Amino acid sequence: MDPHQRFLRVMRGTQGALIAASAVQIILGFSGLWRLVVRLLSPLSAAPLVALVGFGLYQHGFPAVAKCIEIGLPQLILLIILSQYIPHAMQSRKHVVELFALVISVGIVWLFALILTVGGAYRHAPRRTQLHCRTDRSGLIGAYPWIRIPYPFQWGTPTFDAGESFAMMVASFVALVESTGGFIAVSRLASATQMPPSVLSRGVGWQGMGVLLDGIFGTVNGSTVSVENAGLLALTRVGSRRVVQISAVFMIFFSVFGKFGAVFASIPGPILAAVYCLLFAYVGAAGLSFLQFCNLNSFRTKFILGFSVFMGLSVPQYFNEYTSVAGHGPVHTGARWFNDSISILFSSQVLVAGSVAYFLDNTLKRNDGTTRKDRGYHFWDRFRSFRSDPRSEEFYSLPFNLNKYFPSV
């Protein structure tokens, strides 16, 4: 088959799978079914869920920094100095350095990488080193057009395959669980009150609408919570939605005027990996912060916390090792879609850890007199509905008068 025709075939199949998978999040979110699940979350079960949203991405941190240590390590050190030490030393009320630490550090190290590239430091280096260290190896700037306006079904009419759609639905559910941890982390890092389950459920529904648009426009990937942006919220201490809105405008601009977006996309990977070391660490720490509401002297708490985190790390590791050796997952039947679905489920550290903690927390010694306080559930009591916290009132009405269509949210 012609490579271009094969590309179009894959894109159309992916579009159809994404459109079908969006129904999972839309139905669970807007129907309020996910709200029923979230209502049973406690700080104890949320801790491993949120922690592994950040800590589970460790492979994108220092292992990627070490691929070009001469630019990755300076970026990591400079970012820590600018974001943690300099603001404390300056004792400024405006916190300018703290706000722009990421931009300043990336700009300086990016310029340093450019000087190394132009100066010929990697001229005789191995191809792998050049790929990670040079600033002119991505080829994005020259390949991308100046202006390109995306439009619906740009790759043709989507095709729907039952197996591919089911596997994508499973992936959509995994993204739903991971996004739930991301939502909780964002509210925690923003020093806001815990989101009522109805608000979180509605957020999942709108995320499903994003996946639907991804399928319609053929973006290949679906929409989920950005762990990087959640960590950036903690790094900059800025939790304004106006900032998010302005950032969205810039993202639309860069997607249409491709040359500008390609410039930023050509930043060497080790520089971004060094940034992830801080951002993902902040998100993971947000999960650990929920333990302050739990009784860590309780052996029930220790068992649930330790066992869920350990299984969340070890089960996906087993699936990944088995796949790398055998070329397929531990489940190897004649139905490929079923094999892929099982591998997707058990390869997610967040899903495994969150599911184990959720099940144990809601079944193990639940009726004991001290269990409710040990699991920290009393802390979330006042945030279980809209009316109990006045700061949640601004979220009560759906935009565009959609309450009549989704009264349960």
pLDDT single digits (tens) 11-59: 999 999 999 999 999 999 999 899 999 989 999 999 999 999 999 999 9
Q: The pTM is what?
A: 0.86
In this structure, what DSSP letter does residue 342 have? H
Q: Cα torsion at 347, 349, 350, 355 (round to 10°)?
A: 80
> How far is it, in rounded angstroms, from Cα 96 to Cα 253?
26
- Does residue 338 sit within a domain? no
Domain for residue 84, yes or no?
yes
What pLDDT shows up at residue 93? 59
pLDDT of residue 313: 94
| Domain limits for position 52 | 3-148+163-294
The answer to whether position 174 is within a domain reads yes
How does residue 399 score in pLDDT terms, banded at 50, 70 and 90? Answer: very low
Residue 347 within a domain? no
Neighbour count for residue 2 (Cβ, 10 Å) = 7
Model confidence band, residue 385 (pLDDT cutoffs 50, 70, 90): low
Calculated CA dihedral for residues 314, 67, 227, 267, nearest 10 degrees:
-160
Residue 253 has pLDDT above 90, yes or no: no
Percent of the chain with pLDDT over 70: 91
Over residues 183-206, the pLDDT tens digits come to 999 988 887 777 888 889 999 999
Distance CA 405, CA 66 (A): 51
Of residues 279, 345, 282, the one with CA closest to residue 60? 279
Residue 47 in any domain: the answer is yes
44-58, 89-103, 118-132, 157-171: segment of lowest average pLDDT: 89-103
CB atoms closer than 10 angstroms to residue 242: 8
Check residue 259 and give its pLDDT: 80
Residue 363 has pLDDT above 60, yes or no: yes
pLDDT at 68: 92
* Mean pLDDT taken over the chain: 86
Q: What is the pLDDT of residues 92-119, one digit of tens each?
A: 655 777 788 999 999 999 999 999 988 8
Question: Residue 30 in contact with residue 205, Cβ under 8 Å?
Answer: yes
**Is-contact 367 177, C-beta < 8 A?**
no
Position 382 in a domain: no
Each residue's pLDDT tens digit, 256-298? 887 887 788 788 999 999 999 999 999 999 999 999 989 999 9
Could you tell me if residue 213 is inside a domain? yes
Q: Is the pLDDT of residue 386 over 80?
A: no
Q: Within 10 A of 215 (CB to CB), how many other CB atoms are there?
A: 24
pLDDT higher for 349 or 88? Answer: 349
Q: How sure is the predictor about 394, in pLDDT bands with cuts at 50, 70 and 90?
A: very low
Instruction: Count how many domains the chain has.
Output: 1
Asked whether residue 77 is domain-assigned, the answer is yes
